[in-house]
A = this chain, B = another copy of it.
Amino acid sequence: MGTTQLEQAPETKYWHLKTVIGEALDSEFAVGEILPNERDLAARFGVARATLRQALEQLELEGRLQRRRGVGTTVAPPRMGVAVGAAGNGWPGGTGDAWQAADSTQEIPPASVAELLGTGEETVHVLRRSRMYNGQPVAADLLYVPAASVPDLSAIDIPDGVTRARVVLRELQRLGFEGEDRAVELGSARADDARQLDRLPGAPVLLVTTRYFGPGGRTAAVSVATYRADTCRLTFGGDVEFHSGQERRAS
């Protein structure tokens, strides 16, 4: 009667586990330290392995644990702040930052990209790049460049993918751009991205879609970057580094 009935949900087991383990991580474990294996942990807490795993999965999602098949579960360092704003990368790869142009082909872009580009079913240059940070791969990226955006190249024929990538980037950089647009959403890693990022397919990733506007307001290029969600915190604007004292190091 008088009891304010606010308890509501009786807190599930895995949620409680997650809390308990999370607190233990703060107080009793150092970064890089290895946890007991899942079977032992499950036994120790008196739950099924699946339940224990549900807790670990969330902690990994939050960037507090790192699990590797065949190896074990370790305490993850704090997420690294990765600059995505205008300060970080003009034409990505242009200024020789951590982006590494890997390859280039000419393909018909997927519908979602074609819509952003405003092109129809024309083929575009597709540059594959990957971004390193503190010696770790943090992002895989596809840069879609319509042939119209780099007119001076249409006559030349360059067979090698890597050098063509470099040439396209240089040309883009020469032309410059007038603005950019960015969107971030949650996704799961495709098989090839997963391989580049040293994760399993389906791993949670942050999808950063950038539109680059050329002269006249036309969309000159579109980039879709796939960042590891477990290890990265994306930073925007402000040239100041977040948390500058606490960046992640290789384990």
Contacts and interface: CB of A to CB of B under 8 A. Distances in A.
Nearest to A59: B188
A229 B179 CA distance: 26
A185 interface: yes
A61 B181 CA distance: 24
A183 B234 contact: yes
Contact of A62 (B187, B201, B209): B187
A206 interface: yes
Given A15-B201, A181-B242, A204-B204, A186 B236 contact: no
Given A183-B235, A235-B183, A58 B211 contact: no
A142 to B, nearest CB: 17
Contacts of A232: 185
Interface in A167-217: 179-188, 191, 201-202, 204, 206, 209, 211
A230 interface: yes
A92 interface: no
A94 interface: no
A181 to B, nearest CB: 4
Top 4 closest A-B pairs, CB basis?
Answer: A181-B238, A186-B229, A185-B233, A182-B236
Given A179-B238, A184-B184, A186-B229, 12 more contacts: A15-B201, A61-B186, A62-B186, A62-B187, A62-B188, A79-B185, A183-B233, A184-B206, A185-B232, A185-B234, A186-B206, A186-B230
8 contacts: A58-B202, A61-B188, A61-B204, A62-B188, A81-B183, A185-B206, A186-B206, A204-B204
